[in-house]
Structure 1
């Protein structure tokens, strides 16, 4: 087996992905520069229409990043300081950060061990007369159980904001077999175009998706300084725009999104087959109600061996990541809300067990086999 170096094995191979479509990307970039319409230019308009068409939504609104998208969504829904928003204790900090920034109150909910999504069986019990919304996070590339979430949300008349930053292109599968893209099912969906996402640009970028035309118009205005017409501000807004150059890149890459998802799924299938007999390494669960686009390939390591496995693979030149080492309710910045260790036991346990392996669209078979061989060796010999 080859002796790989750390710089040869990557969690995500963005350069390799670029080189495969280099002429298209370069031409799109050159056109954007030549047009010299750097803010809200033709490329932004084109990509917005492409995004709307791909996801089959009534409105798509681009913005500066995925965190802004979440904040704009909550502003558009009219959430006010003191309102409560239910959010998983196991998620990236941005999901909760915007709640705090807007003066809202995060009401944490534990997650399901199998899919890492919020535990929808606990949702109803958390709703109070101050609850205005819930944020199901489609973590690692797979949709949450939206029918379960929507049933409770509809009964209690609370809004549903889908955090789709890691699941662009995933499809939710309804009980009757029909499908809808992640981010298009609740009141509004948000996503990120951070470079390592399934649909990523060469900097920061984000978007909102909704089937509600009126809400779409409202968040569009909010994202543009609260103005519909230049210099006439009808509401409090923010300055959050996707720049023309990033839009040009994204419009090209959107054409390849389904192919990217298929490539990641093939890598995941090989990992699954290779690790299925390892009792201490639990491969990702596939929910019956969602496809999985594998923004991350996240396993669980049992018997306290996660950190040993991580160190072992590092020595072999194999990078790994832990998404996430600390649950949100125990982060120093959020202790002010009064939560403590033991409040969300599944989320806390997952922080000690999860590990994400390299997965990307350009994964070479010999590299993946090297990763697989070393992981099997760890559990069969070195990790004993």
Structure 2
């Protein structure tokens, strides 16, 4: 049996007529940048997340770049973040000369170790970029306490966090991205809410930050050909917005299906002593965007899965502090031992709403066969 890590084909077939109608309608009405479909989708995001403002952009990466610029991550100012993440979570800080300051991760959650953040705060620190990775949010109570104490800006990288909600010590659950100054989502095809191409969203509850984000996505213009800032060209494509609006109708169902699949894996692999899973920490509602396992025999298991036509992914093989592009920061192997160790042991199994129980059974039986 061949098991894909992800395929968009099954979801397309499930809702084929709706997807077709959405795309054709945009073309029939005449394509416009930031058209009605984009505005409608922004409103859907505001309603679902509880954010006061949602500003659609071309990608999650662009969302990080625009918000980092607006928050003043530049000219040697320090921004604290995790080395265990995708490049864009840190490259957004460096675009205008900001300095990433890495903090090691929590071995149980794979998110930044919030208990090690405050010791890295200096007179040059201006912000924190917590990343809500794989299936759960970072401890936002602790993040916001530190930010408030030291007057820091908080940019939530919720590229993988759509649908996740944090309660912590509060009285209500708050959606990822809506707790800090800014939050961002990615709509890359594999994401919990993914398009048929690139897409991203900025969310904020701050009127002034929202006003700036709307200008920055159209070259810094307050109105056509009137530029207040040197901005960017980053608009969510109208066709992608139309597709994503269809998917929003089924997002709660999709999140639930991911939970079901994750529980299939937990149930079938719970007795496999050679594996370890992430631990959910804090009062929150997780979303299983990625299902990871940890094993000392990661590479050997990966080869065995390949031989059995089971696709997988490794998030991430090399932590950012050891990537060549960040060598100028002066970090070395051993600086962040937890992140380095996780990079050597982590492996992501196929998970998406349309995967079948039979496919999960085959994946799990193959893993157990390997360890026998």
Please give the per-residue CA displacement for 1:17-63, whole angstroms capped at 9, x wherever unaligned: 11111111111111111111331111111111111111111100000
Contact 2:264 2:357 in 1 (8 A): no
Contact 1:275 1:283 in 2 (8 A): no
1:344 aligned partner: 336
Gaps of 5+ in 2: none
2:353 aligned partner: 361
How far apart in 1 are the matches of 2:141 and 2:277? Answer: 25
Give the one of 127, 130, 151 matched to 1:133.
127
The runs of 4+ residues in structure 1 deviating greater than 3 Å are: none
Give the one of 263, 281, 296 matched to 2:257.
263
How far apart in 2 are the matches of 1:85 and 1:370? Answer: 44
Contact 1:72 1:219 in 2 (8 A): yes
How far apart in 1 are the matches of 2:355 and 2:171? Answer: 32
Q: CA deviation at 1:159?
A: 0.7
Query: How many residue pairs were aligned?
Result: 372
Contact 2:126 2:153 in 1 (8 A): yes
Contact 1:38 1:245 in 2 (8 A): no
Partner-residue secondary structure (3-state), 1:98: helix
Contact 1:284 1:297 in 2 (8 A): no
Gaps of 5+ in 1: none
1:182 aligned partner: 176
Give the one of 311, 320, 328 matched to 2:320.
328
How far apart in 2 are the matches of 1:325 and 1:38? Answer: 40
Q: CA deviation at 1:377?
A: 1.5
Please give the per-residue CA displacement for 1:335-377, whole angstroms capped at 9, x wherever unaligned: 1110000000000000001000011110111111111111112
How far apart in 2 are the matches of 1:157 and 1:46? Answer: 35
1:62 aligned partner: 56
Matched ranges for 1:28-47 at <5 A: 28-47=22-41
TM-score for the superposition, normalised by structure 1:
0.95
How far apart in 2 are the matches of 1:81 and 1:205? Answer: 28
Q: CA deviation at 1:105?
A: 0.5
Matched ranges for 1:187-206 at <5 A: 187-206=181-200
2:302 aligned partner: 310
Give the one of 212, 218, 222 matched to 1:228.
222
1:71 aligned partner: 65
How far apart in 2 are the matches of 1:48 and 1:176? Answer: 27
2:74 aligned partner: 80
Would you say 1:375 and 2:370 are equivalent positions?
no
Contact 2:74 2:97 in 1 (8 A): yes
Q: CA deviation at 1:98?
A: 1.5
Contact 2:74 2:99 in 1 (8 A): no
How far apart in 1 are the matches of 2:244 and 2:225? Answer: 29
Give the one of 138, 163, 172 matched to 2:166.
172
